[in-house]
Structure 1
Amino acid sequence: MRILLTNDDGIYAPGLRALRKELLSLGEVMTIAPAAEQSAAGHSVTLLTPLLIQEVFDDERKPIGYAVEGRPADCVKLALLELLPWKPDLIVSGMNAGSNAGINVLYSGTVAAAIEGAFYHYPAIAVSLEYTKLKPLDFPKAATYAIQIIRQILRKPLGAGSLFNVNIPSLEKGPIAGVKVVPQNITAYTERFDRRMDPRGRTYFWAGSDLDCPDPHSETDVTALAESYITITPLQYDLTAHAKLADLREQSWTVE
C-alpha cells in the first residue's frame, strides 16, 4: 500500500511523526506537509505567493518527504500533481493536536487536507487527538489506536473519494470506552474573546481556547468523544441542499 501523509500542525509535529511510524506497517509512506503550523487554516489555498518546498529527512538521514511553505490543501494538491512518484492508495491527515469534532470540522486544516484528497477521488482519513490539558500528549499511544481504526476502515473496499473523520479521546480521561460511528454535531460552539489593550492604548482581542457545545445532542461526535469513545464520522463535501432544489425549481424566476 502507498500512503500520502499530511497534516496541519507542520511536518515536524510529534503527532505526524507518531502516526507515520504506525502507517509504515501498512506500506510505503510519503510525507508532504506544511513547513509551519497551519491550525484552523480550513480549506484555504495559496494563490499569490510561491509554494517553496524543502526535502525532509528522518533521524537516520533517510528522506521522508517534503515540507511545503503553504496550507494543508496546498500540500495535497502539490503532492498529487507534482511531488509524488506514484498514485497513493490512501491519504491520511494527522495526527492533529486537538479534536476536530462538531463544527470544528469546517475550520480544520487537518480535515481540509483529507477533503482535498477526496476531491481527487482518493480515499482519505483525517485523524485527531483530543486534549484536555496543556501538557505533552501521548501521541505514540494514540497512534496505536489510530492505526487499528485505519486497518478496520480498510477492511472493506473504499470507493473513490471516500472520506472519514476519526477522533481519539483524550488519554488523560482514562481508558478508551470503545468505538462509535456517529454523525457530526452541527451546533454552534459558545466562543469567547479576551479583550485587552496594548501599550499604545489600542484594543485587541485574543480568541479563547475554551469552546463549549451548548447542545451536544446524543449520539454525535461531540458527545461520544466526551464519553471517551473513539469516533468515526463519514464525511462528504457536497454542500448542495438537495432537498430544497425541487421547491426552488418550482418557482418562477425572472430578471429585468
Structure 2
Amino acid sequence: MRTQSVLPLLSILGAARGARILQSNDDGWAELYVRSLHDALRGAGHDVVLSAPAENKSGSSSSDREPEPRTSPCQYDSCPANGGPVGSNATDPRLNWVNSFPVTAVKYGLSTFGPQVWGDEEGPDLVVTGPNVGSNVWLAVPFSGTVGAAVEAARNQRIPAIAFSGADSGTLRWDTSPVPARSAVYAELATILTNKVLDAGAPYLPDDVFLNVNFPRLTAQCAAAADFRWVLSRINPGIISAPDVETCGDDRLPTENEVINSDGCFASISVGDATDKTTAPAEKQAVVLRKLGNFLTCL
C-alpha cells in the first residue's frame, strides 16, 4: 500500500519523541483518509487512538449528543447492525466508533477509548482531526464537524488541536486498495506538520487556538508530499480585522483560499480562534510563526 511506502521517510522527517495523539473526523471512522493518517502517524512512532463517528457526519459543526444504540450497520458495513452506542474494531482497540457527532466522539476518546488503550487518565498530547474529504475554508469553517472536533479539544478540553482538510474529495472505504495517491499524500503531509508542531516543544500551541490546515488538489506538478510548501494564512478575509502578525513583508496574511488556489504547491496553515472559529489575533499567530520558523514560506 502507498501509505506504507512513506513511513520510513516520516520517521526521518520528524517526531523527536512519540506522542499520544487522539484522532477524529466528521466523515466517519471507516473513511480512508482518516485511516491513512492513522497508519502514517503510527508509522512515525506515535501512540494513536481513533475515536470518530460511526457514519458520515459532515457539516455537524459543534453538535454534541449522547450516542444511542445503532439499528443499522456502521458506515461501509464496518460494524454490525443492532450494536451498542459505541464500539471498537474487533481486532484493534485503537480504532473506535461513536454513534453521534464528531464533538461527542472526541469526548468519548478522551474519557473512554484513550484511557483503555493508554492505561491511565493522563490523556493525549495532541488532538488531530481529518483529513476532511474536501476543503474547510472561510464560510465552511463554522459548519465543519472536523473543525468542531478540533475546537472542542482546544477550547473545552484544553488540548492542542489541528484540523486537516484536503481539497480532493470523494469518499472511500477504509479498505480501498491500492490506496489512492490523494489519501497517501494527505496523510504524509499531515504527519509532517504534526511532527513539526510536536518537535517545537510544549506548550505546542497557545491557549484557545487550533490550527486549520488545508491541502490543495493533487496535480501532475503537486503529486508528492515533497512538492509542497507551507504558508501561514488566515481563515476569514481581513478587510476590517486588526493587523495580522508581520511576516513576508506584510501585516496581512493571505486567506486559505488564496493559498490553496495559487499557482504552485502550497498548503495553508491558519491559526484559528477556538472561541469563534475565526482567525486568532496577531499575538497568537506570532507564537505559531516562531515555532514553525523556516518551515514556512512566503506565497
> Do the structures match in fold with TM over 0.5?
yes
The corresponding residue for 1:55 is 88
* Whole-angstrom distance in 2 between the partners of 1:132 and 1:66: 23
Aligned residues: 209
| Aligned partners of 1:11 and 1:67 also within 8 Å | yes
The corresponding residue for 1:12 is 30
**Higher alpha-carbon Rg:** 1
More displaced, 19-28 or 9-18?
Answer: 19-28
Q: Which has more strand, going by share of residues?
A: 1
The corresponding residue for 2:270 is 233
Q: State the shift of 1:238 in Å.
A: 2.3
| Aligned partners of 1:165 and 1:234 also within 8 Å | yes
Provide closer, same or farther for how the CA distance between residues 63 and 100 of structure 1 changes in structure 2, counting only shifts above 3 A.
Answer: same
- What pairs with 1:85-124 in structure 2 (closer than 5 Å)? 85=115, 86=121, 87-118=123-154, 119-124=156-161
Paired residue secondary structure (1:172): coil
The corresponding residue for 1:252 is none
* Whole-angstrom distance in 1 between the partners of 2:151 and 2:59: 14
* Whole-angstrom distance in 1 between the partners of 2:221 and 2:22: 31
- What pairs with 1:73-152 in structure 2 (closer than 5 Å)? 73-85=103-115, 86=121, 87-118=123-154, 119-131=156-168, 138-152=182-196
* Whole-angstrom distance in 2 between the partners of 1:240 and 1:32: 22
Output the amino acid matched with 2:218.
Answer: L
| Aligned partners of 2:24 and 2:52 also within 8 Å | yes
Provide closer, same or farther for how the CA distance between residues 17 and 185 of structure 1 changes in structure 2, counting only shifts above 3 A.
Answer: same
Provide closer, same or farther for how the CA distance between residues 39 and 76 of structure 1 changes in structure 2, counting only shifts above 3 A.
Answer: same
Structure 1: segments with no counterpart, 5+ residues: 188-216, 242-256
Taking structure 2 as the reference length, the TM-score comes to 0.63
Output the amino acid matched with 1:80.
Answer: L
Q: State the shift of 1:49 in Å.
A: 4.9
Q: State the shift of 1:22 in Å.
A: 1.2
Taking structure 1 as the reference length, the TM-score comes to 0.73
Provide closer, same or farther for how the CA distance between residues 45 and 137 of structure 1 changes in structure 2, counting only shifts above 3 A.
Answer: farther
The corresponding residue for 1:40 is 59
The corresponding residue for 2:81 is none
| Aligned partners of 1:185 and 1:222 also within 8 Å | no
Q: State the shift of 1:64 in Å.
A: 2.1
Output the amino acid matched with 2:158.
Answer: H
The corresponding residue for 1:207 is none
Output the amino acid matched with 2:23.
Answer: L
| Aligned partners of 2:135 and 2:166 also within 8 Å | yes
| Aligned partners of 1:146 and 1:168 also within 8 Å | no
Percent identity for Structure 1 against Structure 2: 28
Q: Which has more helix, going by share of residues?
A: 2
Paired residue secondary structure (1:171): coil
Output the amino acid matched with 1:238.
Answer: T
Structure 2: segments with no counterpart, 5+ residues: 1-18, 70-83, 116-120, 173-179, 239-251, 279-299
